[in-house]
Amino acid sequence: MRVPLLPRVAQGEIAAIDECLDRYGGLIWSLARRLSPSSPDAEDAVQEIFIDLWRSAARYREDLGEEETFVATVARRRLIDRNRKLHRIPKPQPIDETTLTYASPEVTPIETSEDAQRAAACLKKLRDNEREVLELSIYHGMAHLGISERTGSPLGTVKTLIRRGLTQLRTCMRLGSRVSAEGGVAL
């Protein structure tokens, strides 16, 4: 398990900023690229995310969750919030382009957090159609309507599959009651 960097950031250690950029820059940039409508927008977003991260560094508690998960939570909140405020949802890309540009993600990370490893294992237990809609929604940032068009499933079915998939993952990862009781990754 990697040693968290945010406590050092909270203490004002500049070296920890560099290490955070090394460790999480790719994760945040990749997430911003996938969930932003354009590259310039992703650049703005990633800077806002890092500001959020520096400012929330003191609130991170290692006993409530892993740092990687905390960082991804901060990033996703900001990205979804930006899209909503600007009344934008990333446009679903044409199927061919999606397939070419965004191949299915690997699900066997070599050196990552325990949360992520658990998530990877639980994802394998989902049905193909559940996993597919989650991949299109979470990984590719597609709106429900876009997923419906992409998969040929009715909109209601897409919503049901997403919800069922996430509920099963939550159960599988055994995060439900324990996390809510402890506050999870509350920011």
Under the binding rule (CB under 8 A), the answer on residue 59 touching another protein is: no
d(CA 179, CA 67): 15
User: Which of these ranges, 91-99, 148-156, 165-173, lies near another protein under the rule CB under 8 A?
Assistant: 165-173
> Residue from 10, 17, 151, 157 that binds another protein (CB under 8 A)?
17
Under the binding rule (CB under 8 A), the answer on residue 10 touching another protein is: no
> Residue from 56, 93, 129, 139 that binds another protein (CB under 8 A)?
139
> Residue from 59, 98, 129, 175 that binds another protein (CB under 8 A)?
175
The three-class DSSP label of residue 3 is coil
CB of 30 to another protein, least distance (A): 4
Q: Which of 133, 124, 119 is nearest to 164 (CA)?
A: 133
> Residue from 6, 158, 161, 169 that binds another protein (CB under 8 A)?
169
* Residue partners of 122: CB distance under 8 A and separation at least 6: 168, 169, 172, 173
> Residue from 10, 30, 93, 153 that binds another protein (CB under 8 A)?
30
Question: Whose Cβ is closer to another protein: residue 12's or residue 94's?
Answer: 12
CB of 143 to another protein, least distance (A): 6
Under the binding rule (CB under 8 A), the answer on residue 57 touching another protein is: no
Tokens 């998969």 belong to which residue?
151
d(CA 111, CA 117): 9
Under the binding rule (CB under 8 A), the answer on residue 148 touching another protein is: no
What number of chain residues touch another protein (CB under 8 A)? 87
Interior angle at CA 9, CA 78 and CA 13, nearest 5: 145
Chain positions 60 to 119 lying near another protein, rule: CB under 8 A, are 65, 68-70, 72-73, 75-76, 80-81, 83-84, 89, 105-110, 112-113, 115-119
Question: Whose Cβ is closer to another protein: residue 63's or residue 96's?
Answer: 63
Q: Which of 60, 25, 67, 66 is nearest to 46 (CA)?
A: 25
> What's the token pair of residue 99?
């397939």
> What's the token pair of residue 122?
């639980």
Q: Is 65 exposed, middle or buried (0-12, 13-18, 19+ CB in 10 A)?
A: buried
